[in-house]
Structure 1
Amino acid sequence: MSTKYQKQDAKAYARENFRGVWAATITPFREDLSFDEEGFRANLRHWVRALRLGGLFVSGKQGEFFSMSLAERKRSFEIAVEEANGHCGIVTSCSDTNLDVVLDLARHSQAIGADYIVVHSPVLHFHQDAEETVYEYYRYLSEQLEIGIALWNHPDCGYVMSPQLCARIAELPNIVAIKYSVDRALYSELTRLAGDKILVSTASEEEWLDNIVELGWQLYLCSTPPFLLQSAVDQRINEYTRLAFEGKIAEARAVRDSLEPARAAFRSARPSGTPQAYSKYWLEMLGQVGGPVRRPLLNLTDTQKAAARDAFARSGLKLA
């Protein structure tokens, strides 16, 4: 097994290295729906070298992990680690409804040198009280694995983990972070309860700067905005993050606010129910590799693509 730290040092390693802007990768597929490894490598090189992101969150929901085979998921991890090559961090998404699959993916991530894994809270059917069930789930994963584990909770799994439950899980030795896709009151409470034990983050780019300033956050473990609202010559998310970390808050706010036309344009044409297809098409307009989505997701219609092109033209994003 190859890890960059010992289990007992996972929290300290994450505190030192799990920081900045981490974006969730998309998985490009060819027209025959096979995994486009060459396209994925090309995208990774752009995200790692041109965009200089702090890290990448590989094959999560945005990456359509639910429609990928186990072999494809492992291969995506391997390619990401190879292309990052120490220039940015890699957290692999090992979420699954089957615990054996989670452990298989997690052990593979350890073996290939990923920095951390992320595991979504389990889908629970007919539950009355998720607290003990979810705690035991993560306690068992912590016991079985050496690698640092990031929690992930979102209401679409059927429940929201309480800040108190998250804080309890945060006591486990290799629980290092959480992507807590909840409202501000909950993630603020968790930061108060356990911010010294795990790194708290949420998916919202629009809240990132305020969370640096008001909550002392160092990690944005997010979705796709860092590579959908940036290019090689227009990196305002990176810029306002740097300014905020340097304590130049007024300058950071000015840069953050200047991105609002791009955010508004992106939101204006995004159809409900097809976020991955929309992100892939937007990525193509930025000159990267997108391709179709796999079932059960729906691809964009011609009308939706036309709306996306109009929105992109209004975004003000600079490509050169």
Structure 2
Amino acid sequence: MKYQKADAKAYAKEHMRGIWAAALNPFEADGAFNEAGLRSNIRHWIDDLEIAGLFIAGKQGEFWAMSLEERKRNMEIAVDECGAKAATIMSASDQNVDTVLDLGRHAQNIGADYIVVHAPMLSFCHDRDEVLHNYYRHLCDNLDIGIAMWSHPDSGYLMAPETCARIAELPNIVAIKYSVPREMYVRLTQMVGDKIQVSTSLEDDWLRNIEELGWDLYLCSSPPYQLQTATDRRMHEYTQAALAGDFKTAHQISTSLDPVRQAIKSTKPAGKPTAHGKYWQELLGQVGGHVRFPMLELTQAEKDATRQAFEGCGLRP
């Protein structure tokens, strides 16, 4: 690891910045993991788009459909390709805490920068504060790597800001990906100050959060490599302008991306977000590939509509 456990918070505050993207994993038609395709995508994301960090083996990567060995291999490929040019945060999320610890130790051993662990499903549990604090404390007690919390509706509940702020006191809790309504992450940001990095995955709010909340980390989803090409890096440009305090320029650039955002949103079937994301990657010249069961593939009609919207959105190839 690049830091000692006691220095995890300080290290993340210095290095966990900029635009981080959550990687979709390319799978073959027979379900095989396309390692070469992932490596090609990572090289493009880092070398051409200058993405600062990658979120690996998360929900975007269909981790729930991957074996434990595949998830570990997913991590290894990312560390190998990112090298010193970009950072990594590995999803160690799982309902089984021993699996979480196994993945967390693997991330430590291969030189990953951080791990992220989402709040577990808690059946029959309504007073969650102590349970969740105990859960993340157990992870901190048994791992040295910096850990990011992750709260999203798929857990069946959202972690309260007060609970997150309490967990943020633990020694190697460094961040949270807080996929919640804005008023919740605003409150948490105010509660924790600069103790940990607070972020959410909605690109629509990224510029506003830099300007109003002083955020400097986008953690993270697929827009960084779906809204940009090697010659059209407007998300990168508006981010750099905003971080430099030039919000007038940042807003002008960000607004110019509205047709691209609309093209994606208007053609994404509600039940096929992953397949749509991968097809959009293919239209951009990246490796998209197939989804794994039980996720659904796009129909030809859905692909045709997406391609038509893509060709008219103004994203420069």
Normalised TM-score (structure 1): 0.98
Q: Percent identity?
A: 57
SS at match of 1:30: coil
Q: Which residue does 1:54 correspond to in 2? A: 52
Q: Is the 8 A contact 1:266 1:315 kept in 2?
A: no
SS at match of 1:222: strand
Q: Which residue does 2:14 correspond to in 1? A: 16
- Please state how far the C-alpha of 1:130 moved relative to its aligned partner: 1.5
Q: Which residue does 1:229 correspond to in 2? A: 227
Task: Count the aligned residue pairs.
Answer: 317
Q: Is it true that 1:6 corresponds to 2:7 in the alignment?
A: no
Q: Which residue does 1:98 correspond to in 2? A: 96
Q: Is the 8 A contact 1:176 1:198 kept in 2?
A: yes
- Please state how far the C-alpha of 1:171 moved relative to its aligned partner: 0.2
Q: Which residue does 1:195 correspond to in 2? A: 193
Residue-by-residue CA offset, 1:232-290 (whole Å, 9 max, x unaligned): 00111111110111111111111111100100111010000111110000000000111
Runs of at least 5 residues in structure 2 that lack an aligned partner in the other structure: none
Please list, as runs of the form range in 1=range in 2, the aligned pairs for 1:272-291 lying within 5 A after superposition. Answer: 272-291=270-289
Residue-by-residue CA offset, 1:154-205 (whole Å, 9 max, x unaligned): 1221111111000000000100000001111110000010022110000110
SS at match of 1:176: strand
2: CA distance, partners of 1:123 / 1:225: 27
Aligned AA (2:132): V
1: CA distance, partners of 2:94 / 2:183: 28
SS at match of 1:185: helix
Q: Which residue does 1:179 correspond to in 2? A: 177
1: CA distance, partners of 2:47 / 2:13: 23
Q: Which residue does 1:303 correspond to in 2? A: 301
2:24 aligned residue (23, 26, 36): 26
Please list, as runs of the form range in 1=range in 2, the aligned pairs for 1:142-291 lying within 5 A after superposition. Answer: 142-291=140-289
Q: Which residue does 1:38 correspond to in 2? A: 36
RMSD between aligned residues: 0.7
2: CA distance, partners of 1:195 / 1:150: 16
1: CA distance, partners of 2:118 / 2:102: 15
Q: Which residue does 1:67 correspond to in 2? A: 65
1: CA distance, partners of 2:193 / 2:177: 13
Residue-by-residue CA offset, 1:109-142 (whole Å, 9 max, x unaligned): 0000000000001111122211111111001001
1: CA distance, partners of 2:296 / 2:95: 22
- Please state how far the C-alpha of 1:315 moved relative to its aligned partner: 1.5
SS at match of 1:159: coil
Runs of at least 5 residues in structure 1 that lack an aligned partner in the other structure: none
Residue-by-residue CA offset, 1:201-224 (whole Å, 9 max, x unaligned): 001101001101110111100110
1: CA distance, partners of 2:123 / 2:44: 40
2: CA distance, partners of 1:64 / 1:281: 15
Aligned AA (1:174): N
Aligned AA (1:16): E
Aligned AA (1:22): W
Provide runs of 4+ in structure 1 moved above 6 Å: none
Q: Is it true that 1:130 corresponds to 2:135 in the alignment?
A: no
Q: Is the 8 A contact 1:142 1:175 kept in 2?
A: yes
Normalised TM-score (structure 2): 0.99
SS at match of 1:207: helix
Q: Is the 8 A contact 1:281 1:305 kept in 2?
A: yes
